Amino acid sequence: MTGWVLLAGLGTGLGLWLIVVGLFPRPPRLEKILDPPETPSVDSDSPPAGWAGRWGRPAAARLSRLGLPGARTRQDLACVDKPVEVHLAEQATSAVFGLLLVPLTTLLLALVGLRLGFAIPVVATLLGAVGGFFLPDLAVHSEAVKHRTAFRDALSSFLDLVVIGLASGAGVDQALDEAAKVGSGPAYAELRYALAEARLARVPPWDILGALGRRLGLAELQQLAATVGLAGSEGAKVRASLRSRALALRQRQLTEAEGEANAATERMSLPIVALFAGFLIFLGYPAMAGVLGGM
């Protein structure tokens, strides 16, 4: 018991220190204010955004030297435009909270007279630390999936606009620029930025679109870049191909929407089943108690 009290006291002191550090961050150095860097960098001394990023910042460099995060997580971070250092700092903070949650809970239970022994709190503490470490990965992956879904929705309408531009007699580059100017939202903003980057760098726009597709992990955008590049370099008929790709994207969206609707319907049936099971238990318990009592 004494060991758990010491561990809980250590965890409480560490938590209070993290709270003080988060509420009162260290002021920036004078030379950094007078001579700021020309280009912003995630490796600079400016604190990452968010309290979790500030608290876990000292551990971000150590986790990065271990090769974290993985390739899939890095692609998700690039998709949502989140720095790797901020993500690693949030992972460290979340792991510390998961590590301290179980000892504090065990201490509170011990104060009210409920003791869980030694093995259960130790295992739960390790599981809490591991779960807390991987929780930011799940959050980033979920956010990246939503971003890719929204980008696919915008890409289908973008393809329709490009087809309309090509049908009116515009060239490939002009049709892409005009289609990107019509739409609004984050996806169209990224497309406009990519096309503007291609103009400034004097490179074919399909090369930049392909790079954007690889960064976001969107195979549809990479296929669009390949199709447009084939038309721009070899003069292939691109309008029919883009129209078929737009139809395929819409069909996929309808299929995914139907699947999500079916899944939501199944989830709605679970509370009804649980309520019905509770009702049966409520009705059957007195009868079973009477039968067992009479034996």
pLDDT by residue (tens digit) across 253-290? Answer: 888 888 888 888 888 888 888 888 888 888 877 777 77
More confident residue, 181 or 41: 181
Q: How confident is the model at residue 39, as a pLDDT?
A: 38
Q: Is the pLDDT of residue 140 over 90?
A: yes
More confident residue, 175 or 3: 175
Q: How confident is the model at residue 48, as a pLDDT?
A: 43
Backbone angles phi and psi of 171, in degrees to 5: -75, 175
Paired tokens of 139: 């959050």
CA–CA dist 18, 22 (Å, integer): 6
Paired tokens of 33: 């204010």
pTM over 0.85: no
Q: Is the pLDDT of residue 195 over 60?
A: yes
Q: How confident is the model at residue 27, as a pLDDT?
A: 66
CA–CA dist 278, 267 (Å, integer): 18
Contacts 24+ apart (CB under 8 A), 266-273: none
